[in-house]
Amino acid sequence: MENIEDIKTFLEPLLHLFEDQPWVQGGAIFLITFLFASIISWIIFRILKMLTSRTKTYLDDRLLNIARPPIYYSLVITGFSTAVKIMPLSESLSDKLIYGFKTIGVFIWMIALIRTSKIVLQQLAWGKEKFRMIQPQTLPLFDNLSKLVIIAIAGYIIFQIWGVDMTAWVASAGIMGLAISFAAKDTLANLFSGVFILADTPYKIGDYVVLDGNQRGKVTHIGLRSTRLVTRDDVEVTVPNSIMGNSKVTNQSGGPNPKFRIRVKVGVAYGTDIDQVREILMEIAENEPLVTKTPTPRVRFRTFGDSSLDFELLCWIEDPELRGRTLDKLNVTIYHRFNDEEIEIPYSKQDVYIKELPEAKN
């Protein structure tokens, strides 16, 4: 109301000319407000656009384009409300028109804030690494949360404009929320776990993970209720997020380096030239196309076994998905090469000694 009184005071000389014609006064205010809002917004945003054009980022230009419509319509709506107050309308109709104008203004600002939050979140998610505050895969979560908050605040303001008492609504929502929490506690547990998984990002789509039960698969979907894995048998497994959140999850694709290390264990007979074994294993790994050149493969002599000298070939592959194929190729090549070099691969044997045979019965 203070804005309306200020406008009426400012336009007092003009209103005095049409003192006995309130409809003309209202129409004049409509026209003047429209022209004033158009000119002022054009001048101000023209100057601001010249300033933002000198910056290196496009963020300020996009925010400026979003800010212009709500500021322009706010000026127009203020003038329209003043005009309605001057016109000879009933108090009830006048109030409803003003409330309607304010409601339109709230919707315009709500849309502008939603667009602004989306742009800011995108900037935080896709900016430079050292300035990144949100992970790209969690962007939809924060985007939806910001929309819900802005819409809720806008709805509250609209109810206040129209004088609707929110006490009963809040009480009903509290009772309903309590009943839902008891009836759907498992669903809510999955929901909150899904939110934490999306926010914490222990794994992402495309990662290979291993669960407590040695279930291994590729993550194909992360939802608010469940996570889906595709195993090496091409079977899709759906795991509730509450289980994922309370289980030990090994992310084989995680860490600073996406490469995955595999171990090939092999034993040779006692008396074998261990330097020759080490050289053969290194040569096999270096000649295998699926094995990466960096980090370089390495061979470790682990222990003296019960019937063998135990070695371990350590090498890296580009993706955990290649683990099975690479192990197959390395094992086949090692077996053939050891046969060619006459290197014995021992296996466990049991010798049975018969002290005496039972006497034959007549």
Report the chain's terminal Cα–Cα distance, integer Å.
Answer: 126
Q: Average pLDDT of 73-91? A: 74
Query: pLDDT band at residue 143, thresholds of 50, 70 and 90?
Result: confident
pLDDT recorded at residue 2: 47
High-pLDDT (> 70) share of the chain, % = 78
Question: Considering only 62-76, 225-239, 281-295, which range has the smallest mean pLDDT?
Answer: 62-76
Q: Find the range with the poorest average confidence among 6-10, 161-165, 193-197, 281-285.
A: 6-10
Sheet of 226-230, strand order:
236-240, 226-230, 216-222, 208-210, 250-251
* pLDDT at site 361: 65
Mean pLDDT of 82-104: 77
Q: What percent of the chain shows pLDDT beyond 90?
A: 21
Q: Counting Cβ atoms within 10 Å, is residue 32 exposed (0-12), middle (13-18) or buried (19+)?
A: middle
Beta-carbon count within 10 A of 27 CB: 15
Helix axes 2-10, 59-86, angle to 10 degrees: 80
Which pLDDT band, with edges at 50, 70 and 90, does 225 fall under? confident
- What's the burial of 356, exposed, middle or buried (CB within 10 Å: 0-12/13-18/19+)? exposed
Q: What is the pLDDT of residue 333?
A: 95
Could you read off the pLDDT of 227-285 as tens digits, one per residue?
899 988 888 999 998 888 888 888 888 777 778 899 999 999 999 999 999 999 999 99
Rounded CA separation 201/196 (Å): 8
Give the confidence band of 341 by pLDDT, cuts at 50, 70, 90.
Answer: very high
Q: When comparing pLDDT for 2 and 162, which is higher?
A: 162
> Looking at residue 330, what is its pLDDT?
95
Q: Is the pLDDT higher at 348 or at 111?
A: 111
Mean pLDDT score, 330-342: 94
Under 8 Å between Cβ of 286 and 297 = yes
Q: How far is CA 300 from CA 64, 197, 309, in A?
A: 63, 38, 11
Helix (H) or strand (E) holding 239: strand 236-240
Phi and psi at residue 302, in whole multiples of 5°? -80, -55
Inter-residue contact 251 to 266 (CB < 8 Å): no
At 315, the pLDDT band (50, 70, 90 cuts) reads very high
Query: Which pLDDT does position 332 carry in this prediction?
Result: 95
In sign, the C-alpha dihedral spanning 279, 280, 283, 285 is: negative
What's the CA gap between 79 and 8, in Å, rounded? 9
Structural contact between residues 217 and 230, judged by C-beta atoms closer than 8 angstroms: yes
pLDDT in tens, 157-191: 888 888 877 676 666 666 676 666 665 667 777 77
pLDDT of residue 128 exceeding 70: no
Judging by beta carbons within 10 Å of its beta carbon (0-12, 13-18, 19+), is residue 328 exposed, middle or buried? exposed
DSSP 296-338: PPEEEEEEE-SSSEEEEEEEEES-GGGHHHHHHHHHHHHHHHH
> Which domains occur in the chain, in start order?
2-173 (no CATH), 196-251 (2.30.30.60), 260-340 (3.30.70.100)
pLDDT at res. 266: 94
In degrees and rounded to multiples of 5, residue 209 shows phi and psi of: -125, 155
12 has pLDDT over 80: no
User: Encoding tokens for residue 276?
Assistant: 């020759």
| pLDDT range class, residue 21, cuts 50, 70, 90 | low
Residue 362 has pLDDT above 60, yes or no: no
Q: What is the mean pLDDT of the segment spanning 18-30?
A: 62
Question: In this predicted model, what pLDDT tens digit does every residue of 251-266 receive, in sequence order?
Answer: 888 777 778 899 999 9
Task: Output phi, psi for 347, to 5 deg.
Answer: -135, 155
pLDDT of amino acid 97: 81
Identify the band that residue 15 occupies on the pLDDT scale cut at 50, 70 and 90.
low
Gyration radius from the chain CA atoms: 37
**Is 19's pLDDT higher than 70?**
no
Average pLDDT, the chain: 80
DSSP H helices, the chain, are 2-10, 12-17, 22-52, 59-86, 91-126, 139-161, 167-183, 185-200, 241-246, 274-287, 323-340
4 band by pLDDT with thresholds 50, 70 and 90: very low
Cα distances (angstroms) measured from residue 16 to each of 26, 124, 322, 351 = 12, 54, 86, 122
For 183, counting Cβ atoms within 10 Å of its Cβ (0-12 exposed, 13-18 middle, 19+ buried), the class is exposed
List the single range of 63-77, 136-150, 217-231, 322-336 with lowest mean pLDDT: 136-150
Higher pLDDT, 287 or 190: 287
Residue 35 Cα distances to 29, 38, 41, 76, 297, angstroms: 10, 5, 10, 9, 76
| Better pLDDT: 251 or 86 | 251
**Bridge partner residues of 226 (DSSP):** 240
